Structure 1
């Protein structure tokens, strides 16, 4: 089954319903489906092996996604925020491609690759004007739908492969067809090259929800669109939510009473921030969605009722679950394993393994699935007695001090309870005695004095074990995050090598 069938079904069910709003222009489901079929003709005649988007979100991204699917060519949205040298490397890996967006940059960085380039508006117009062959046979969806380059927060980007079957499994397992009311509107502000953005488009189209695109996130613009389009649903990353709340606290005004559901994910949500959000948006249902590129988006959810119970509870166990990512979807199998591959009991931290039809675990270079179809996520975590999943960072982030594995998350969570600390990262630093030791980079909250390093070391020693006490403490103005709110630990580690 081809993912383009999601758009085709929505268009056949109600072709005149508004599907997309971007920069003031409205597209019906029928218009989008027609443009996608035109894009398919362009892509096939080009001979391109990939369809790449080098641009912000727009109607062109949606048309390219489904046009590529119909043509049987992998869709490969690129991170336009990358440095030239990094982007040039990715352009080389997908040549020859039909590229939509920044024609000048693509041509300058890789002029001899045989790429066919369209500016955004020209691609959209050409797709609308393409001659559609009535006898054209479209791809059946047996192959690759999406190729996404991973964020590379700890290593060089890998080309993750998502097949039509993976994405269809996720959508059919989580969304009911045509379930949205005509007034429902989903605000999509995550980048088009992230799996969360693609999943948001596909799931909203299958539900026949109106999609409101925000090409470049700014909290003021987000609030303005919620009011103007009477947005009911939105997905944000923690850094976005923090900036939205900060804007409201600074006096930015908007009618957000239409907002019924806010999903978040993509990075660690500070407990202080989600408690504040629950107070500020009492009418909204909050959902924490955990997933990866290689799993076609969400594999575990902490739902609205669980948020409310944890937020209002005085029970420390119940309240602590607000820091979890909830329970696995019914279609997902999940295990926690140690370094030898043994399944660990409840409460023991190890690497998260996943299995299910939506789980690809496949890269352009090779598959990462084991013989039984399990995908090692490289995320560390543990399950509590009721099956709630708690993340403990990347498995690669574990600090190995004298043979003892230390999770950065437990140190960070403790230090964030200090009133003067607004952000902190714990990383491994070289140690002659222990091999690795703990280093912390600390961001001080505005209006507070910088705490003494010894005070922080005592705090860790008293609440955790002596092995967790940081050997090095750096105070920094900000910590490095990517646009999806993921901490770039490799850059934090570099601070301790200067």
Structure 2
């Protein structure tokens, strides 16, 4: 199967049910298919070998996704927040693409010689092109082994790489995680991540297949998110941890969400304090922690609703610790934790996370697949599996601090910092040091104007962990640099700590 067949199934099964946008004026399943046919005709007429989407989320995005599938070319959602130099380098890879861009981004496409239309113009042109109706014989269906989407990684530690997701990867993910027509006609999902993130792609596909309407929020604010949940009677939502933290920590908000049934989160580590607060505030909501990567077509492990409730109410420290885990692998995915030599480690032992399954791509443009001889992909995440199979992710391999001859995972130090009631956000990094190679430094964001005693924080870490894991310095900043999906941009943090005139205070 290819991605377009999922839309065909939805159009036949749901017909005039609104699946994209607001209930009062959104796109029905049938209209989405019609527009995808029109968009595919536009791409073929232009001789395009890809459809570039350089715009915020909205109805143009799913139309572009399925139009690309029908045209047999990949969709390339591009980060519209990139600087001009990085954006120009990325766009140079796609000189024969058809571009969809906001007016303020159209110059970048013109510099690359790529024809561009605005999202509104794209939808209007797709509608005009479909005036003759659906012609199922117009083009051969895309080969399941052909690329469906090319997503560039965030590049928080290096230059962005293009991850190739083929049709069979995405379809395998959908079929393995969602029941067709499993959602009621009244259900609606709210997406608050940008379209160049894998969660945006996977949620279009899974909600469409389930029959659930998808609403997007272009610019997140806590009150704006809550208002939209109530206005559109949202039943399901997906957020990144920083969003949930702001919803829970902002004073004076009306946090009532009577329609909300389920909330998924992922993309970065969720502070235990935040999820505990959310579970108490919304006891009727089913929380799901979803762990995945672009290279795995989204989710590979899940901590489900009942596991959240059991953990937050348990007196057993083992059960309670699961609230800081990402749960167990989904049934269609195999997962191993290995040491640096490639040997699988035992329960509770730290190592590097490897995954295998039909949804796993592990392929980069120009490089081919990077899986091992057994088909396992190295996620470059560190973690451990407990005795009951729950996965605890402990940061990226690239984040490891090497102080002297000792490898130190920042996550364990960050966990201690985030337990402090006056700390809203925290990060630990390695800063170049002539004697030790790297020294440990941390940055914390105080909560709501609180004054944080950094020496008290250092003592808390020393009392909990070994002295060698105590930061040499803890600085206070008003906020941490993060991507829109919540990932810390550690290179900017290191640069800020090492630069002269850095915005820090030592006490």
The question of a shared fold, defined as TM-score above 0.5 by the shorter chain, is answered with yes
Asked if the contact 1:2/1:70 (under 8 Å) is kept, the reply is: no
- 1:180 corresponds to which of 167, 171, 183: 183
For 1:262, the equivalent position in structure 2 comes to 263
How far does residue 316 in structure 1 lie from its aligned partner after superposition?
Answer: 1.3
Asked if the contact 2:22/2:232 (under 8 Å) is kept, the reply is: no
The change in CA–CA distance for 1:214 and 1:450 in structure 2 (over 3 A counts) is closer
Asked if 1:351 corresponds to 2:352, the answer is yes
Asked if 1:169 corresponds to 2:167, the answer is no
Q: Distance in 1 between matches of 2:67 and 2:116?
A: 15
What does the per-residue CA deviation read over 1:85-136, in whole Å, with 9 as the maximum and x for residues that have no partner? 2212211122221111225533x23535331211111110111111454531
RMSD: 1.6
Asked if the contact 1:421/1:444 (under 8 Å) is kept, the reply is: yes
**1:13-412 alignment, distance < 5 Å:** 13-22=13-22, 25-103=25-103, 105-106=105-106, 108-130=107-129, 131=132, 133=135, 135-137=137-139, 138-247=141-250, 249-252=251-254, 256-366=257-367, 367-412=369-414
For 1:477, the equivalent position in structure 2 comes to 478
Q: Distance in 1 between matches of 2:44 and 2:452?
A: 60
Q: Distance in 2 between matches of 1:286 and 1:358?
A: 24
What does the per-residue CA deviation read over 1:396-418, in whole Å, with 9 as the maximum and x for residues that have no partner? 00111122111101111112223
Asked if the contact 2:23/2:232 (under 8 Å) is kept, the reply is: no
Secondary structure class of the residue paired with 2:336 = strand
The change in CA–CA distance for 1:436 and 1:251 in structure 2 (over 3 A counts) is closer
Q: Distance in 1 between matches of 2:408 and 2:495?
A: 19
The change in CA–CA distance for 1:449 and 1:263 in structure 2 (over 3 A counts) is same
What does the per-residue CA deviation read over 1:149-205, in whole Å, with 9 as the maximum and x for residues that have no partner? 001111110000000010011000000111111111111221111000111110000
Asked if the contact 2:190/2:216 (under 8 Å) is kept, the reply is: yes
Q: TM-score, with normalisation over the residues of structure 1?
A: 0.96
Q: Distance in 2 between matches of 1:101 and 1:322?
A: 40
The change in CA–CA distance for 1:481 and 1:246 in structure 2 (over 3 A counts) is same
Secondary structure class of the residue paired with 1:311 = helix
Q: Distance in 1 between matches of 2:493 and 2:25?
A: 42
Asked if the contact 2:88/2:112 (under 8 Å) is kept, the reply is: no
Asked if the contact 2:380/2:396 (under 8 Å) is kept, the reply is: yes
What does the per-residue CA deviation read over 1:52-110, in whole Å, with 9 as the maximum and x for residues that have no partner? 1111111111100000011111101111112222212211122221111225533x235
How far does residue 206 in structure 1 lie from its aligned partner after superposition?
Answer: 0.4
Secondary structure class of the residue paired with 1:93 = coil
Work out the number of aligned pairs and report it: 494
Asked if the contact 2:273/2:418 (under 8 Å) is kept, the reply is: no
Q: Distance in 1 between matches of 2:190 and 2:445?
A: 31
Asked if the contact 1:50/1:96 (under 8 Å) is kept, the reply is: yes
Asked if the contact 1:22/1:214 (under 8 Å) is kept, the reply is: no
Q: Distance in 2 between matches of 1:139 and 1:338?
A: 40
How far does residue 452 in structure 1 lie from its aligned partner after superposition?
Answer: 4.1
Secondary structure class of the residue paired with 1:146 = strand
Asked if 1:456 corresponds to 2:457, the answer is yes
Most deviating of 424-433 and 385-394? 424-433
What does the per-residue CA deviation read over 1:37-64, in whole Å, with 9 as the maximum and x for residues that have no partner? 1111101111112111111111111100
The change in CA–CA distance for 1:112 and 1:20 in structure 2 (over 3 A counts) is closer
Q: TM-score, with normalisation over the residues of structure 2?
A: 0.94
The change in CA–CA distance for 1:229 and 1:112 in structure 2 (over 3 A counts) is closer
How far does residue 10 in structure 1 lie from its aligned partner after superposition?
Answer: 0.7
Secondary structure class of the residue paired with 2:26 = strand
Q: Distance in 2 between matches of 1:142 and 1:318?
A: 42
Asked if 1:432 corresponds to 2:434, the answer is yes
The change in CA–CA distance for 1:171 and 1:110 in structure 2 (over 3 A counts) is closer
Q: Which runs of 5+ in 1 are unaligned?
A: none
Asked if the contact 2:454/2:475 (under 8 Å) is kept, the reply is: no
Q: Which runs of 5+ in 2 are unaligned?
A: 500-507
Q: Distance in 2 between matches of 1:360 and 1:428?
A: 31
Q: Distance in 1 between matches of 2:218 and 2:477?
A: 30
